[in-house]
């Protein structure tokens, strides 16, 4: 059995049922039959000016420069694709067209699949069953070798594996179709989210404009209003404000009354002096009844004055009452003004106890309610400590809330739009895998791949995890690897490669990165991980998402619709 690498060099494998007929020279492949039909002469395929006798075909002598006269021997093996480059040093002409015309010796392989085998393997004493299951390449039995025809069993096994492969492919394709459906649904959801966010933002735009206008209107009307109010807060605040200004008024009145009293006392003193003088100086012998009555009345008044106990307030007490209120005298208003929150304050602030996500929403609603309540005279519109009226504060806060809600929604919208525009591969198929992780072990580590997120190296010995890169983009690369019997390989062709970059820094080196090569498989699986060079990792991963888009049987294609 020969190395399978020869397969790649061989090139064409014909699948036609046409086998070389009895009359054809040995080793002629179906597509070259027409060149060998003449029974008398043969014209070199690549050099039509050279015509040979029919007997020169397969006479074990390379007569055509392109080797086409020896389809069934190894005589021209030196110019077949596996032979050294031509022309050989010292060749006669040096300019001869020596490109081989035939791809190799044709093994009919009846019961299996006909194929070409390199000319140099013809009659070399080795049975090359992989390419020539009928053993026809060893027809000369060189060294006594007998290559039996094994095409029946090899063909049967091949067909069994082919059937298995076909079924696997169909199952994988079916899974891929499911993934594409899931991805489509996920995409639709993002689109719905975006549409909803856009509607919400339009509403918020309108609300913002309305609240902006309301705020400006309230601010304007409040600016023109002379607010005469001393209290703060709710009912207690209003009461404190009223009491404070009432006491101030009473204190002013008392002050004035005291002044009037003093004026009147002066007058009383003057009159008493006059009457006392009259009493001292009047002439009792002068019989004037009016004077006598006046003196008598004064004597009675003076007697009454001395017998009465004075119940008046002492001036000191009155002065005490008249003193300005402060922390040490009179009423300490600050205690009432800055004391416990009023009932209304409690209403204003209870939202602080709500969980953060609901707070903004409730705050906005509450503010609107507050504005409405103030406008309708249900809540007191008292100035806040900053001098701004409750109405203006509430209107401003309502506007701020709407602005914040708008900014939050805009952020969400931008994120969803980025998500929608992300490259999730052909048919968007990888969208359904986002957020899922798979892992596989290699040596002392487990290697984890989180689709479209990151790759991680996890120590089995508990030394912690290492970020091997964060997802950046999807690329395509051509790979050429031997098929594996278990199917867990990349094979040959264009493959999708997920690039993960900028992982944890490598000691004395660059940041770690990972190239994730994807092959078609029925289930998501990390096949193998290798550290290709220091801190540069290569993961080979199977996934139905990486399979070809095989058309579902019976389902019309887009073009057919
Ligand atoms: C750790 C692992 C290895 C890596 C070295 C680099 O041991 O992440 O894969 O090669 O660090 O120092």
More confident residue, 151 or 367: 151
Question: Average of pLDDT values for 455-468?
Answer: 95
What is the model's pLDDT at position 230?
Answer: 46
Question: Average of pLDDT values for 160-170?
Answer: 90
Q: How far is the CA of 535 from the centre of ligand 1 (A)?
A: 6
Q: How far is the CA of 481 from the centre of ligand 1 (A)?
A: 27
What is the model's pLDDT at position 555?
Answer: 54
Q: How far is the CA of 383 from the centre of ligand 1 (A)?
A: 66
CA dist 224 and 526 (Å) reads 74
CA dist 79 and 262 (Å) reads 143
Q: What is the largest CA-CA distance in the chain?
A: 199
Q: How far is the CA of 440 from the centre of ligand 1 (A)?
A: 17
Per-residue pLDDT reduced to its tens digit, 186-221: 999 999 999 999 999 999 999 999 999 999 988 877
Q: Which of 444, 513, 531, 537 to mutate to test the pocket of ligand 1 (most atoms within 8 A of CB)?
A: 531
Helix (H, G, I), strand (E, B) or coil at 438: strand
Per-residue pLDDT reduced to its tens digit, 262-291: 899 899 888 988 888 888 888 888 888 888
CA dist 128 and 117 (Å) reads 8
Which residue, judged by its Cα, is nearest atom 11 of ligand 1? 506
Q: How far is the CA of 505 from the centre of ligand 1 (A)?
A: 10
Question: Average of pLDDT values for 520-529?
Answer: 96
What is the model's pLDDT at position 547?
Answer: 93
Lowest mean pLDDT, pick from 209-213, 217-221, 478-482, 507-511: 217-221
70 pLDDT tier (thresholds 50, 70, 90)? very high
Lowest mean pLDDT, pick from 98-107, 236-245, 485-494: 236-245
Which residue, judged by its Cα, is nearest atom 2 of ligand 1? 535
Residues 514-548 as b/e (b if ≥16 CB within 10 A, e otherwise) read bbbbbbbbbebbbbebebeeebbbebbbbbbbbbe
Identify the CA nearest to 492 among candidates 514, 505, 504, 477: 477
CA dist 174 and 552 (Å) reads 8
Lowest mean pLDDT, pick from 15-29, 147-161, 447-461, 492-506: 15-29
Q: Which two tokens stand for residue 158?
A: 């091949």
* Ligand 1 closest atom vs CA 457: 8
Is the pLDDT reported for residue 374 higher than 80? no
Lowest mean pLDDT, pick from 146-160, 320-334, 496-510: 320-334
- Best mean pLDDT range from 12-21, 239-248, 374-383, 534-543: 534-543
Q: Which two tokens stand for residue 76?
A: 């021209």
What is the model's pLDDT at position 329?
Answer: 72
Q: How far is the CA of 512 from the centre of ligand 1 (A)?
A: 9
Identify the CA nearest to 322 among candidates 231, 247, 374: 247
The count of other CB atoms within 10 Å of the CB of residue 490 is 22
What is the model's pLDDT at position 151?
Answer: 97
Is the pLDDT reported for residue 116 higher than 90? yes
Judge whether 520 and 544 are in contact, CB under 8 Å: yes
Identify the CA nearest to 529 among candidates 521, 537, 518, 520: 537
Q: Which two tokens stand for residue 457?
A: 């190296």
Q: Which two tokens stand for residue 65?
A: 């420069």
126 pLDDT tier (thresholds 50, 70, 90)? very high
Which residue, judged by its Cα, is nearest atom 9 of ligand 1? 535
Question: pTM for this one?
Answer: 0.58
Q: What is the overall mean pLDDT for the chain?
A: 83
Ligand 1 binding site (Cβ under 6 Å of any ligand atom): 457, 466, 506-507, 531, 534-535
Beta strands at 513-520 and 536-543: parallel, antiparallel or unpaired:
parallel
85 pLDDT tier (thresholds 50, 70, 90)? low
- Residue partners of 118: CB distance under 8 A and separation at least 6: 6, 9, 10, 77, 80, 81, 82, 104, 105
Q: How far is the CA of 446 from the centre of ligand 1 (A)?
A: 13
Q: Which of 456, 504, 534, 538 to mutate to test the pocket of ligand 1 (most atoms within 8 A of CB)?
A: 534
Q: How far is the CA of 376 from the centre of ligand 1 (A)?
A: 71
DSSP per-residue string spanning 99-124: --SS-SEEE--TTS--EEE-GGGTTS
Question: Average of pLDDT values for 322-351?
Answer: 63
What is the model's pLDDT at position 81?
Answer: 60
* Ligand 1 closest atom vs CA 508: 12
Is the pLDDT reported for residue 407 higher than 50? yes
Which residues make beta-bridge pairs with 450? 437, 454
What is the model's pLDDT at position 557?
Answer: 47
Question: Average of pLDDT values for 391-403?
Answer: 90
Question: Average of pLDDT values for 417-432?
Answer: 95
């Amino acid at each position: 059995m020969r190395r399978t690498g020869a397969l790649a060099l061989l090139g064409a494998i014909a699948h036609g049922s046409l086998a070389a007929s009895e009359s054809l020279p040995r080793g002629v492949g179906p597509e070259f039959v027409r060149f060998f039909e003449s029974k008398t002469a043969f014209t070199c395929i690549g050099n039509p000016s050279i015509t040979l006798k029919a007997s020169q075909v397969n006479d074990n002598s390379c007569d055509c420069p392109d080797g086409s006269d020896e389809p069934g021997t190894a005589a021209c093996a030196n110019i077949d694709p596996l032979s050294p480059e031509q022309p050989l040093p010292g060749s006669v002409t040096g300019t001869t067209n020596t490109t081989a015309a035939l791809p190799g010796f044709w093994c009919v392989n009846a019961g299996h699949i006909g194929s070409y085998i390199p000319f140099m393997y013809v009659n070399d004493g080795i049975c090359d069953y992989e390419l020539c299951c009928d053993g026809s390449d060893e027809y000369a039995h060189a060294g006594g070798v007998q290559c039996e025809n094994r095409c029946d069993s090899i063909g049967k096994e091949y067909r069994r594996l082919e059937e298995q492969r076909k079924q696997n492919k169909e199952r994988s394709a079916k899974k891929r179709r499911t993934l594409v459906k899931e991805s489509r649904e996920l995409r639709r959801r993002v689109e719905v989210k975006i549409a909803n966010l856009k509607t919400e933002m339009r509403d918020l735009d309108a609300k913002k404009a309305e609240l902006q206008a309301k705020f400006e209107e309230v601010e304007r009307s409040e600016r023109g209003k002379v607010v005469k109010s001393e209290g703060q807060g709710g009912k207690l605040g209003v009461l404190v404000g009223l009491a404070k200004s009432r006491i101030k008024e009473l204190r002013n009145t008392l002050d004035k009354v005291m002044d009037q009293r003093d004026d009147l006392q002066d007058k009383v003193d003057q009159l008493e002096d006059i009457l006392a003088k009259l009493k001292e100086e009047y002439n009792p012998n002068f019989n004037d009844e009016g004077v006598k009555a006046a003196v008598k009345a004064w004597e009675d008044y003076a007697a009454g004055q001395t017998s009465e106990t004075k119940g008046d307030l002492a001036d000191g007490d009155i002065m005490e009452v008249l003193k300005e209120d402060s922390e040490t005298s009179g009423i300490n208003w600050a205690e009432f003004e800055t004391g416990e929150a009023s009932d209304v304050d409690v209403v204003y602030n209870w939202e602080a106890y709500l969980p953060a996500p609901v707070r903004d929403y409730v705050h906005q609603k509450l503010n609107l309610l507050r504005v409405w309540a103030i406008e309708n005279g249900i809540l007191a519109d008292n100035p806040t400590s900053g001098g701004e009226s409750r109405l203006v504060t509430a209107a401003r806060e309502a506007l701020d809330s709407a602005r914040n809600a708008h900014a939050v929604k805009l952020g969400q919208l931008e994120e969803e739009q980025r998500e929608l525009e992300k490259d999730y591969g052909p048919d968007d198929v990888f969208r359904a895998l986002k957020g899922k992780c798979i892992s596989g072990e290699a040596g002392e580590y487990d290697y984890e791949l989180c689709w479209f997120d990151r790759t991680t190296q996890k120590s089995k010995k508990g030394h912690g995890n290492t970020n091997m890169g964060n997802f950046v983009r999807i690329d395509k690369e051509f790979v050429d690897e031997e098929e594996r019997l278990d199917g867990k390989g990349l094979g040959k062709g264009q493959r999708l490669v997920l690039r993960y970059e900028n992982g944890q820094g490598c000691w004395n080196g660059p940041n770690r990165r990972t190239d994730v090569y994807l092959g078609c498989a029925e289930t998501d699986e990390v096949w193998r991980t290798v550290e290709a060079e220091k801190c540069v990792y290569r993961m080979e991963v199977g996934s139905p998402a990486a399979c070809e888009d095989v058309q579902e049987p019976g389902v019309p294609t887009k073009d057919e619709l």
